[in-house]
Structure 1
């Protein structure tokens, strides 16, 4: 300290008077070193927003602290385009996705690591080190052997990328921005800067480069981010609430070894009136309560408040902001200590000493001979060889531990992402319109609750080339059959079958639905190859659900009723979780390969393959086929057509045709193996005796725009 050095020099040159002058000059030098009034230091605010401005201060992080950081390098956003092929009469859909490469400066001193990372307030990286979005990540701890980041060096060129030695920073490579409005999100980092807990004294000792000793500044800290326009500004807001201040030889506390002095006003010639005066301010001059604002680690480093009240007092309150992370019990203890300190501070003393006590300086602790307690030197004057000290009563430095609760916070959920589960199948017509091309449904979910989505790729040439399709839709409800339903007609509600499904985690849940809701399409699920609906859903065990009151064979899938096997897939059809694709080819062995690459899926991801038959572009089979015998052996056939664009029941009207023209192919099979084919354009046909003779089986198919339906069968023998 300059004060100490110049005091020694002054004493050597001019004796006691020179020492006094040297001390005064030294204090002036100290004032310039530590900064004048009006200095700016850390402030207690809500979590700061990430910046990228020039001349932004670089904080020095101690302990464990949540910091926003500053973007120090970035490239342009990387755009990826994907298109969905268009169906007949509809425009194609082109999707754009973006990713970003950038670096964020975290601390002006080396750190140990980074724990959690938040993006726009949501967890981007969990406590287990798992990522909630796709990104590459490298952390540079800030040691002196630190090398330039390889991505920055590749973009900027050899020799143009700084290593930022002594500063810790993080580099994100290819961060997917779909979850953040296609922009770089505001990031905050839980920085672990020191291997052991830190104290206020240790922080100020390092910040001052050892010029200020740790002294008695033993306030335990969880974390602190030091910044300001001077060293004093960086630490003063940290020390003052704890009862510490910067004295002539380091951090001082409100108790400890003190210089004993006597009040010599009565013995000094020329002492001015008023010296040796004791003053106590009115009780209402001290605050009735003190609140301490601080950062609370258990609430994701949000601002917390603890309060202490002076017994029997009324009136104003004082708020003290401590821009550090501390435990709630320490914050409440500080508040209780501050109440006592502000109450004692009402008492002041002015004492006069001879010039031999000139070494006592502002900030020193003194004890008046014959009186209990200690005092802090607030003011110092030397006039006519009389040293006058203005003293303020101080309280002990011990911080009482008070039981406290930081309250309950709304924390960002931290769940593991887990691997992806992918299901794909050719989609039956679930809407009231015809489709002119085959459609493939893609649904994806995770094996753990934290899964969000995965990148999706498609190949139509047996995996020789892959085209990006953006990302999957919202997480779907996908399970596995553990019991299968019985065969049952599609014309009535199946109240006999019981269907049980296992799901990978408890976040997947089902709910029942009324008959009216089912009629509007609720609880539609692909179970094996059958599309069905369920009215009742009951959880019977962890991750297991039992479904009853089934509506079977929906949307023309009645032909596969009862074909399910244990282990087949279950997929709840929801618009938000469904991604549909329209392959360029169908039939003739056409197959579609899909690959989903999530955060925990590795480079290859998970795959699914679908045979694209195009069968759902065909009309459903006719129903209610019946025959009436006529005179002389003739046979009258009648049936009811069905439509792939008319699934809803409408009283009093015929279902829409849904095809270019109405036509049917009738085939008469006989016991001798012969067959007769007849075409007609109405849903009825009269077979003359010669064609009806010997008929054993009759098949009726509707001729659609893209082919024949499955047959309706009438067995005669």
Structure 2
């Protein structure tokens, strides 16, 4: 600024010569005020740590960068209580969790969008904009007319809530903290502030209040500029880009590499001689330059490129550049910086007469009769002799082959909408239930799905009761083909082949031998029938072919061959199933189950089921036979089964597992109706055309076994 003021004043007093003298004096003042000092720009580690301290500099973001924000507002921790239905090896109860709402300031400059978001290094939001955990997020881009966030306004009052106009920030509402040690996680954001890469000069222009013009030729994918002053980040940026600033009467100009120049003659002036040249020792220049940067190929984590030169010297220069550049560009910048510093060991001092007063630091010059391009770095005026200090101008940096090294990027799997399956079945482990139980299996249409919040309704959806969360993602799909059959519950079915399409290609099935099947491996529900499969062959990205079937498991032999194409397929794995215990009074009524996952938005998955008591009813009796007694009457007999276990003990009757042994026997065609008996046999009345038997359990009756006479 002194240059501009004193140039104008000198011109008014002394004409062109006075203006030139004023410019020289002003430049000396400006150089004194703005001389180079210790770097106060950002360090790369600053970009990975989220802060909430007063006085923390807010960066101006350019291009696309990954940055940590500053928490500018938050609520206290909010405690939530939910009923947990329990699971394998654990009892149910009340589960407590915490959540918080908060706002994070991202940029002191308006932005265009936010891509991925990491929480403690794990993806909270994917590149497609899909959130990986249940949370409501609102983004404010930094418009000059953006409104106050309604949540902040409701918490602290509309008159006190800042709109942060001109600054970009994000608000997270009710983020669950259970996965983050009940604290607000450290968030980092992939922020896009400009549509394309930015030239270093664009950053200088924006951070200097639009005072700079020109181009540097060095483009960056992203840059984060902040520090104790504007000078710090600009100095770091110009250092690696090989650019410099020229301050003249028309303001600041960014210059780099070759360009327009002024020809001067080194003939000496006044007492100044000609041909004054000094070359510093080779070991005064660094032997190697190490450049640290944010590498987009490494999810913007810190990358490092190192270049060395031949010759003497042991000093190394480490440059921390808070910019996003690929490995090749970073290595090119490091190589150019090393070459430039080595070349600038040579300095040239030229003494010129008063006609050189128009030169200013930052001008390019050529020396008549000598090769090379030079840059003015210092000027001094004494007794009308202008002494100019020059350094050589090197070419602009170019990208060179380099590698980013091994990359361990966070998985960005699509979550997808929740798919919910609810079944009522007898426990596979032989547990004797006294009240009905639902088994819930859920998964997402994308491999990134993890869990969903569960609610049930016993009154047709009028009211809902929270029941914790689902277990991990189950293996779900649909039947797309059935061939062979019919099946049998007493033999291994080697004729029937079932083909299923799973929800996505990350879901897998496995084979099992007879010993594993006997230990309840590969238990699955196809339609209403529970099967086990020994062979699982993948025949497409999502399609599997199942063979060697054990049919009608857990008392579902009544459903053999009742299913078809389009029926559900649910792998009944205890680790991925959630149990919901119900009161006995719901038997015969509809129960609705709702699962709300991250990818469901306002349309959670809802499944309805009529509870028929299948989880508490004894299995259907077997071996129903009719024989003629000695007196000529017909007698029916059967063998009971038990829900206490599925293994036939040699020489031991199956346990009853009910309060008493009772059977309901119905006769068709005789008018006898139904009879109750405590024996496993009964006399068939004359005229009966069919008989069916159901075992009466403590809470519900079994399905009937029927025999036509």
Match of 2:444 in 1: 446
Q: Which residue of 1 aligns with 2:461?
A: 463
The Cα of 1:365 is off from its aligned counterpart by 4.0
Q: Quote the RMSD (CA, aligned, Å).
A: 4.0
CA 1:21–1:478 in structure 2 vs 1: closer, same or farther (change >3 Å)?
same
SS in 1 for 2:439: strand
The equivalent of 1:124 in structure 2 is 124
1:706 and 2:699 are equivalent in the alignment: yes
- Secondary structure at 1:5's aligned position in 2? helix
CA–CA distance in structure 1, aligned partners of residues 86 and 327 of structure 2: 60
Which whole-Å CA distance do the structure 1 matches of 2:688 and 2:588 have between them? Answer: 35
1:448: how far off?
Answer: 3.5
- Say if 1:541 and 1:54 are closer, same or farther in 2 by CA, change over 3 A: same
| d(CA) in 1 for partners of 2:92, 2:377 | 78
Whether the aligned pair in 2 keeps the contact of 1:594 and 1:609 (CA below 8 Å) is: yes
User: Is 2:137 the partner of 1:137?
Assistant: yes
Summarize the Cα distance change of 1:473–1:35 in structure 2 as closer, same or farther, 3 Å threshold: farther
Following superposition, the deviation at residue 240 of structure 1 comes to: 0.6
The alpha-carbon deviation at position 361 of structure 1 amounts to 5.5
> For residues 181-580 of structure 1, what are the structure 2 equivalents within 5 Å?
181-211=181-211, 213-249=212-248, 250=252, 251-263=254-266, 268-269=270-271, 276-281=275-280, 286-287=285-286, 289-308=288-307, 310=309, 318-353=317-352, 357=356, 363-378=362-377, 388-396=387-395, 398-406=396-404, 409-484=407-482, 486-580=485-579
Alpha-carbon deviation of 1:636?
A: 10
Q: 1:422 to 1:666 in 2, by over 3 A?
A: closer
2:214 is paired with a residue whose SS is coil
Distance 1:576-1:466 versus aligned 2 partners, 3 A rule: same
Q: How far apart are residue 60 of structure 1 and its match?
A: 0.9
Structure 2: how far apart are the matches of 1:644 and 1:151? 54
User: Structure 1 residue 132: deviation in Å?
Assistant: 3.1
Supply the distance in 2 between the matched residues of 1:671 and 1:358 (Cα, whole angstroms).
Answer: 125
Residues 472 and 318 (structure 1 numbering): CA distance in 2 closer, same or farther, change over 3 Å? same
Higher alpha-carbon deviation: 607-616 or 288-297: 288-297
Q: 1:562 to 1:198 in 2, by over 3 A?
A: same
Alpha-carbon contact 2:6-2:19 (below 8 Å) kept: no
Deviation of residue 372 (structure 1)? 1.3
Unaligned stretches of 5+ in structure 2?
A: none
**Residue 182 of structure 1: how far off its partner (Å):** 4.8
Distance 1:656 1:391, change over 3 A: farther
- Identify the range of structure 1 (497-506 vs 385-394) with the bigger mean alpha-carbon deviation: 385-394
Measured after TM superposition, the shift of residue 45 of structure 1 is 3.6
CA distance in structure 2 between the aligned counterparts of 1:122 and 1:86, rounded to whole angstroms: 28
Residue of structure 1 in register with 2:55 after alignment: 55
For structure 1, the residue ranges without an aligned partner over 5 or more in a row are none
Stretch moving more, 700-709 or 477-486: 700-709
Change in 2 beyond 3 A, CA 1:305/1:630: same
Instruction: Report the equivalent of 1:73.
Output: 73
CA contact (8 A) 1:423 1:443 kept: yes
Equivalents in 1 of 2:687, 2:194: separation in Å? 95
The structural deviation recorded for 1:420 is 2.4
User: How many positions carry a matched residue from both structures?
Assistant: 702
Query: Helix, strand or coil: the match of 1:537?
Result: strand
TM-score in terms of structure 1 length: 0.85
1:546: how far off? Answer: 1.0
Structure 1 residues 383-435: Cα deviation after superposition (integer angstroms, max 9, x where no partner): 67765554433313x33343555456333344443332221121321223211
1:434 aligned counterpart, secondary structure: coil
**Structure 1 518/329 Cα, relative in aligned 2: closer, same or farther at 3 Å?**
same
Q: Evaluate the alpha carbon distance shift between residue 27 and residue 573 of structure 1 in structure 2; reply closer, same or farther with a 3 A threshold.
A: farther
The 2-side partners of 1:329 and 1:378 are apart by: 30
Cα shift at 1:230: 1.2
Measure how far apart 1:709 and its partner are: 4.0
Moved more, 164-173 or 51-60: 164-173
Pairwise CA distance, 1:614:
1.8
**Higher mean C-alpha deviation, range 523-532 or range 613-622:** 613-622
Q: Say which is worse superposed, 497-506 or 618-627, in terms of deviation.
A: 618-627
Within 2, Cα distance between the matches of 1:72 and 1:668? 74
Structure 1 residue 228 displacement after superposition: 0.8
